């Protein structure tokens, strides 16, 4: 990824109704800028697609089709697509601007999430996927970088359907001689076959949850191709230093979401929500209820704490903790139908790895993404 030049020629340029203001970040499929939409008088995010598109009518048409489809999605956990077009020879996508941070950057800072926070974020992503899948729209590139966490704690999934334009592995490989997309989150059938269904999103969400908990990526390899081979052939590891200290329901949820054979995988989002709810209930029962990053002394915020100790963001709804020795509390049946707690995006504090069960430091360097 080339660093942004000191004076970025894109800044100040107009794309349709949007003026590009500053670079938000670059990914495998172009760059995203903060923009100002004059017509709507609001901040927006504008994604500029790479040159790969130029002159490739079929690719452009597929991108436009997918963008139109994703534009139909309206859900509190999905970043709205507002417009799509071409300007200065560049294809662009205008979307809702989410002021906050993506879950990958948050993970980079915090190393890993508390189990409850990990499960909550996965639950919100599952709700977004549920809405899309009902409309027969696959995401195809679920990963932490595509999960935005707003300052107010809302979780929003971005790049819906966009990956379909580029990350069909076969197309991507022949187009650029490298994998476009993110090998570690690709389901085996996404690599081996051309016919995939909604279950690829379930697989990727399972890997994402695994990464939230461990702070590392499961499959290593010197090259994207080596990672792909490991995705297909190697079992998903379940490191004891993380999972040994967590309720078995969490491990079971991930195993069920990441089965290599899609026929053995959880078949749909309601099934995913059910296992996540079980995992969440088990965490509550075990007293692992905190959604906040640990504070600088490595201790948990006190029970009932309603503010993120680091960012100061207030928790949308404090999670009740059952008294010791109480029978397992039946959690709210609407677990993932309303916000449960802050997924605050504030600056995290340093914390000792020993401070929390299941949070030994990463053992491996993250492989190529
Ligand atoms: N709607 C948005 N609002 C605010 N920030 C966004 C928005 N969409 C993307 N970003 C930010 O822009 C950065 C680049 O996003 P981009 O989608 O290009 O990269 P990526 O997700 O890492 O890779 P990929 O190209 O595979 O999706 C991300 O770091 C993300 O935080
Ligand atoms: Mg993205």
**Per residue in 240-286, pLDDT tens?**
999 999 999 999 999 999 999 999 999 999 999 999 999 999 999 99
Interval between CA 94 and ligand 2 midpoint (Å): 13
Q: Are 344 and 295 in contact (CB under 8 A)?
A: no
> Does some domain include residue 137?
yes
CA angle 235, 157, 97 (to 5 degrees): 145
Whether 36 and 70 share a structural domain: yes
Task: Give the pLDDT confidence score for residue 102 in this predicted structure.
Answer: 96
120-133: average pLDDT: 96
Whether 41 and 118 share a structural domain: no
CATH number of domain containing 230: 1.10.510.10
pLDDT band at residue 349 under the 50/70/90 scheme: very low
**Per residue in 155-188, pLDDT tens?**
999 988 776 655 444 444 434 444 445 789 999 9
Residues in the 5 Å CB sphere of ion ligand 2? 27, 146, 159
Task: Give the pLDDT confidence score for residue 162 in this predicted structure.
Answer: 73
| Ligand 1 site residues, Cβ closer than 6 angstroms | 24-30, 32, 45, 79, 95-98, 102, 141, 145-146, 148, 158-159
Query: Per-residue pLDDT for 24 more than 90?
Result: yes
The segment with the largest mean pLDDT, out of 186-200, 232-246, 296-310, is: 232-246
Whether 92 and 104 share a structural domain: no
pLDDT band at residue 60 under the 50/70/90 scheme: confident
Q: For 176, phi and psi rounded to 5 degrees? A: -125, 5
Look over the chain and give the mean of its residue pLDDT values, rounded to a whole number.
Answer: 77
Query: Per-residue pLDDT for 103 more than 70?
Result: yes
Within 8 A by CB and 6+ apart from 288, the residues are 114, 115, 116, 246, 247, 357
The structural domain count of the chain equals 2
**Is 141 an annotated catalytic residue?**
yes
Whether 196 and 259 share a structural domain: yes
CATH number of domain containing 38: 3.30.200.20
Boundary (domain end) residue, out of 267, 285, 303? 285
Q: Using alpha carbons, list the distances in angstroms from residue 346 to 96, 107, 278, 299.
A: 21, 12, 28, 17
311-339: average pLDDT: 37
Whether 78 and 129 share a structural domain: no
pTM of the shown model? 0.79
Whether 147 and 37 share a structural domain: no
Q: Which atom of ligand 1 is nearest to the CA of 156?
A: 1
């Amino acid at each position: 990824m080339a660093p942004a030049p000191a004076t970025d020629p894109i800044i100040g340029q107009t794309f349709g109704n949007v003026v590009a203001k500053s670079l938000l970040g670059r990914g495998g499929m172009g760059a995203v800028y903060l923009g100002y939409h004059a017509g709507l008088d609001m901040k927006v995010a504008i994604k500029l697609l790479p040159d790969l598109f130029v002159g490739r009518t079929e690719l452009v048409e597929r991108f436009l089709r997918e963008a139109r489809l994703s534009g139909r999605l309206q859900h509190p956990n999905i970043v709205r697509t507002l417009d799509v077009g071409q300007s200065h020879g560049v294809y662009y996508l205008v979307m809702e601007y989410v002021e906050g941070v993506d879950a990958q950057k948050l993970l980079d800072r915090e190393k890993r999430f508390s189990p409850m926070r990990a499960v909550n974020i996965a639950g919100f992503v599952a709700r977004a996927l549920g809405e899309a899948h009902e409309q027969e729209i696959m995401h195809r590139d679920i990963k932490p970088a595509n999960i935005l966490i707003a300052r107010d704690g809302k979780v929003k999934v971005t790049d819906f359907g966009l990956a379909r334009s580029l990350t069909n592995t076969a197309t991507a490989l022949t187009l650029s001689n490298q994998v476009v997309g993110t090998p570690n989150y690709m389901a085996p059938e996404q690599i081996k076959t051309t016919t995939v269904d909604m279950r690829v999103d379930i697989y990727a969400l399972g890997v994402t949850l695994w990464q939230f908990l461990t702070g590392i990526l499961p499959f290593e390899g010197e090259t994207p191709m080596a990672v792909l081979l490991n995705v297909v052939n190697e079992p998903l590891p379940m490191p004891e230093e993380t999972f040994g200290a967590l309720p078995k329901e969490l491990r079971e949820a991930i195993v069920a979401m990441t089965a290599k054979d899609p026929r053995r995988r959880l078949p749909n989002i309601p099934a995913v929500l059910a296992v996540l709810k079980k995992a969440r209930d088990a965490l509550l029962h075990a007293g692992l209820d905190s959604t906040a990053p640990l504070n600088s002394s490595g201790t948990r915020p006190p029970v009932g704490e309603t503010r993120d100790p680091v960012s100061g963001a207030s928790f949308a709804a404090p999670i009740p903790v059952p008294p010791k020795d109480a029978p397992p509390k039946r959690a709210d049946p609407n677990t993932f139908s309303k916000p449960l707690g802050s997924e605050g995006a504030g600056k995290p504090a340093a914390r000792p790895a020993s401070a929390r069960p299941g949070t030994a430091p990463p053992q491996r360097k993250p492989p190529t993404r």
